[in-house]
Chain A
């Protein structure tokens, strides 16, 4: 595959899971795009969006064929920096080319075609998954019947880039990172854990942290003055340590860079972004999300309006912060299920 920035990448592996059955007309397929730390295991036991995908749920697997693939650049089965470089026989490390959200979507499109699906009924995702949805809307409007971008943005802001940069610096400051060629030896665990801790802070809200932890102190005896004492400290360290077990530090660098570079507008007139898009769009944001605030979703809605796209927009009143898209499932399920019902019945607000 030729990447957006000109380099070639191949052979390319794309790991994916599917749920439900593809109908004979191949018209009931929905692509789920995952966020920064997600993977193709969206549903079932420990699936990251199991609350939304399954029989009778918003993405009803009795009706729809749901596909979720790991993004390229990732570390959960799809080709990424930890994969073997065919030229050297060793893991790519930082020799892996820079990838973009556009490349992630191109790989998904190749997968969809490989599965013999001409047109998706819908493409849905939150956060970085939402960016992929927007990229689909712009790059392959004729390939999607509807789109559901959630808690996302058309371009990363300096604040969003800044948080990612702190995460990247933490990884690269870890002596075990070794310029990215650490495979086969100790991984930069401390750096990646700190990056994940910063990420987690941005996914929660002031209110949700106060509710979850308060100023509670951990009961177990601490061996050292600066061991985690407050519950929130222990929680973050725990999340950081667990993340290291399942995620590759270089993938974190590559994927955060891809979303930092994401800029759908890229100097274009807002009215032109979704020109010619004939699909229905459902945009969802969350009131307490300060990482991808509502105004960014309103920017998407505005671009849709200007392009005359048939759009529904709802801000869900939730206190979980950016994590709401994974947690505020009742309202989300209801909106998505009704919206998809309308789309799959061909019942449109328009003619």
Chain B
């Protein structure tokens, strides 16, 4: 993945998250974002990850991480027990995204969700050429992709409307910044701040 695009994503999340907040990162990967949030925003951070290797990398960064499958839910956490629950580049990879969002909204006062825009213009062109999209935001071949669900920015907005989820902020991201026009066509990633239930 392109490091600049990731940095923009992280920069915006840093803007959204309040100083000293509590954060639960579902699918925290190697802990880069959480480490950043601790360093810049002094958050109380907890990560959840599936793989043993990435957990070891998180522990090396001094992070607290559980090895857990997000699809099993967050039943141990009370309602609104974190200021923020983050699902960054995770939603499209879980088995039950609807359930994951519901749980995140229950446990978090606010929820940050980021995902690749599967209907970005480059993807559309690739499909027109008769190929399944492989691009900067979607770097995987069909045979080794961890992505299970394919959505665009407009799809996610529709979903929020259907589920009566309040979108507080959104940032459709391109490689360099925010796609002000035609986000569903031009943004490589969607990033949303949702209000918890």
Contacts and interface: CB of A to CB of B under 8 A. Distances in A.
Interface of A: 280, 282, 301-302, 305-306, 308, 310-317, 331, 334-335, 338-339, 341-342, 345, 347-351
A331 B55 CA distance: 11
Contacts of B56: 314, 331, 334-335, 338
Given A305-B66, A312-B58, 13 more contacts: A305-B77, A311-B66, A314-B59, A314-B67, A317-B52, A331-B56, A338-B56, A338-B59, A338-B62, A339-B59, A341-B62, A347-B62, A350-B64
7 contacts: A306-B76, A312-B59, A313-B65, A314-B52, A334-B60, A347-B62, A351-B42
A312 B44 contact: no
Contacts, number: 68
Nearest to B20: A351
A331 B64 CA distance: 17
Dominant SS among interface residues on chain B: mixed
Contact of B38 (A282, A313, A316, A349): A349
A270 to B, nearest CB: 9
Contacts of A314: 52, 55-56, 59, 65, 67
**Listed residue (B38, B45, B52, B64) with the most chain A CB atoms within 10 angstroms of its CB:** B64
A171 to B, nearest CB: 39
A305 B44 contact: no
Interface of B: 20, 22, 34, 38, 42, 44-46, 52, 55-56, 58-60, 62-68, 76-77, 81
Nearest to B23: A349
Nearest to A306: B76
A341 B45 CA distance: 17
A305 B76 contact: yes
A291 B182 CA distance: 58
A307 to B, nearest CB: 10
B24 to A, nearest CB: 10
A310 B64 contact: yes
Contacts of A315: 52, 67
A294 to B, nearest CB: 9
B44 A313 contact: no
Contacts of B52: 314-317, 331
Contacts of B44: 349-351
Contact of B55 (A302, A305, A312, A349): A312
B77 A312 contact: no
Contacts of B55: 312, 314
B60 A312 contact: no
Nearest to A308: B81
A176 B20 CA distance: 66
Nearest to B44: A350
Contacts of A308: 81
A252 B58 CA distance: 40
Contacts of B60: 334, 338
Given A302-B76, A335-B56, A349 B20 contact: no
Nearest to A280: B64
A325 to B, nearest CB: 15
A316 to B, nearest CB: 6
